[in-house]
Amino acid sequence: MKKLGLLVVLILSLGLFLAACGGGDNKEKGNNNNSGDTAKNEDSNDFKVGMVTDLGGVDDKSFNQSAWEGLKVFGEQNGLTEGEGYTYEQSNAKEDYIPNLTRLVRNKYDLIYGIGFELKEDLTTIAEQNSDLHFAIVDDVIELPNVVSITFKEHEGSFLVGVAAALKTKTNKLGFVGGIDSPLINKFEAGFIAGAKSVNPNIEVDVQYAESFGDPAKGKLIATNMYNNGIDVIYHASGATGNGVFNQAKDLKQNDADREIWVIGVDRDQHEEGKVGDQNVTLTSMIKRVDVAVENVSTMSMKNEFPGGEKLEFGIEEDGIGFATTNQEAMTEEIINTVNEWKDKILKGEVKVPTTREELKTFEEGL
């Protein structure tokens, strides 16, 4: 019996020893993995970010689309699933803003973007009601501790494409098509006219507003009248309304391949929108890196570095504003070099680009 008892003790001791060794193996395997990466992956997979579009829609070829492209890059880089980890809510009318924002809140999204100044009022209301969540407004300022305001120096980029337009026009008649007549779009208008008149003070610029960012038919009608009146370059800052400007330019080009007629895109490089067979009516585009801003702020928020209550402004100096040179046949080396010369003047402070019609008037008086 004593031998049997001793045998049982030995077996139990051996079992405890093996269990201890097994526990040690598991711990060692855990140490072989990068625990920091594991924590990061868990944080990434738990993080959810969404955006509510303005009326132009997520495929407006412009502002909303640029924001969505930035959000997709962020989601893909961090292993998030589209529709769950990152998503968008489409707004077809202003009445959709509150329901769309509320839906993202209800689904517990950590960071929620309002894409466009028209969402300011509704985003403010939702942000005040949900102080535990993070929000971001693009193209306006909301002074709340849980909201970051993302703005751009659109007037600087508009000045540059205004220079390009003045160098390209054969009629000395330019057009500007705005979405909604507002302080934001007035920055595009003022910068464009200032750039064009810096090259030629006598150049004419016809300014018209569609009063919508989602009305391509209105954009086409305005463009038709402008082109019929001798304007050969139109700069649009009108979201999806600008698709109508492109459509009219392409129709005219298709009917008369030799006619020199141009559109200047906005927010993203709209070279693809100007294709007409083997030709292209997109002279250049004023590039506004909404995609980069959205991606950067999303990353900051996920890393618990959300800049709540701050105003982030992106201009030429911050590489948040620029101009496209994709159409190398239209944007000649001479034009690009001249535009870059003006760009340097802005960076050096030699040129202060106007942001309002009042500032533009003063600017013109000094030419």
Mean pLDDT, the chain, integer: 90
Q: Give the architecture-level CATH label for domain 154-288+332-365.
A: 3-Layer(aba) Sandwich (3.40)
Residues 315-351 pLDDT 10s: 999 889 999 999 999 999 999 999 999 999 999 999 9
Strands 321-323 and 282-288: antiparallel
Residues 170-219 pLDDT 10s: 999 999 999 999 999 999 999 999 999 999 999 999 999 999 999 999 99
Residues 87-114 pLDDT 10s: 999 999 999 999 999 999 999 999 999 9
Kindly report which listed range (36-40, 76-80, 231-235) carries the lowest average pLDDT score.
36-40
Share of the chain above pLDDT 90, in %: 85
Q: Domain 48-152+292-301+308-313: give its CATH code.
A: 3.40.50.2300
Structure tokens at 265: 């895109």
pLDDT of 38 > 80? The answer is no
CA distances from 117 to 40, 301, 356 (A): 33, 21, 17
Range(s) of the chain covered by CATH 3.40.50.2300: 48-152+292-301+308-313, 154-288+332-365
Looking at residue 56, what is its pLDDT?
Answer: 84
Are 307 and 148 a contacting pair, CB within 8 Å? yes
Are 91 and 32 a contacting pair, CB within 8 Å? no
**Which of 133, 135, 95 lies closest to 115, judged by CA?**
135
**Which of 61, 247, 322, 214 lies closest to 234, judged by CA?**
247
Residues 241-256 pLDDT 10s: 999 999 999 999 999 9
DSSP string, 302-344: HTT---TT-EEEE-TTTT-EEE----TTTS-HHHHHHHHHHHH
pLDDT of 8 > 60? The answer is no
Question: What distance in Å separates the CA atoms of residue 113 and residue 251, rounded to the nearest whole number?
Answer: 36
Looking at residue 61, what is its pLDDT?
Answer: 85
Residues 278-297 pLDDT 10s: 999 999 999 999 999 999 99
